[in-house]
Amino acid sequence: MIHKDLPFIDLHRHLDGSIRLETILDLGRNHNLPLPSFNIEELRPHVQVVTPQPGVMEFIAKFKWMVGVLVDYDACRRVAFENVVDAEKEGIDYIELRFSPWFMSKPHNLDPAGVVASIVEGLEEARKTTQTKVNLIGIISRTFGPEIGLLELKALLSYKNDLVGLDLAGDEANFPPSLFKEHFLAGRDAGWNVTVHAGEAAGAESVWQSILLLGATRIGHAVRIDEDPKLIDYMLDNHIGIEANLTSNFQTSTVPDLSKHPLKSWLGKGLLATINTDDPGISNIDLPHEFNIAAKLAGLNNSLTRLAQKNALEIAFLSKDEKEQLKKGYGEGKLMV
């Protein structure tokens, strides 16, 4: 259930994994791209997960045409704008959209800094016509290695005042957080908050490094933290947030079944866990689906979904005044089914 006495928030959504199928078709036609099909239903299995993938990197392969249609800066601007419009349609009050400018620029050799500028412009346009509050998180894509990561960081720092956080995503199993300590020191010096993808394709040590070496105050996915009880205690004592992604974790085979997802246990222990979408364009879901359907399959009752919503407001990359402003206007105890 979605609780209307609290803001409806998505803290973990990849902008480049949230592109409309219609937009992929439109850009494909306009730019004569070799899409696998120009029929939306025939295109769907090439872009969206139909059956669980054997791992995270196989899931990421579904991004091929999500980023493959980003032929120019107008396309980047368009998908950023549409992300916010779609979030508003979902009833989302506040969303943090994250993106990797290197990953988005690579298919058509765009300038990563130009990609960042276009994303910023798209969000500014959306803010004029929507009510959803939105902030940006920049991603360093670990898959390309630490040297490319420095170039990506440079592009993000060119617009440092337009971002609220820095993330590390991609091939966690082969590129540990320790390789990116310098990058995140610079990010924290820029005034950014830190969230890191960890505990998904690698174990508890990846989460420890993300917190102790990179300065993460939030962890994306975190599915494997139960491997180390001391890590659980540390995260409780230091108020480290968790950006859980239920459907995504099932689709990447990180959990074998939603009933086995640790989110229920985390919330019961008092961890600051939340419910998010990850890549709704690839997973073919939205945030209401995650609350109304996926959360039930994961064993959450109304009390626990409310707690997840409350946690999202607590760990959002917002100032205290912004959080108070966001809370205004909500009725007590109502549910949005």
The residues annotated as belonging to the active site are 200
List, as one string, the DSSP characters of 101-130. HHHHHGGGT--HHHHHHHHHHHHHHHHHH-
Q: Is residue 156 within 8 Å of residue 191, measured between CB atoms?
A: no
Q: Is residue 165 a contact partner of residue 137, using CB atoms and an 8 Å limit?
A: yes
Tokens of 68: 């493959």
- Quick one: angle between helices 21-30 and 40-47, nearest 10? 110
Length of the chain in residues, anyone? 337
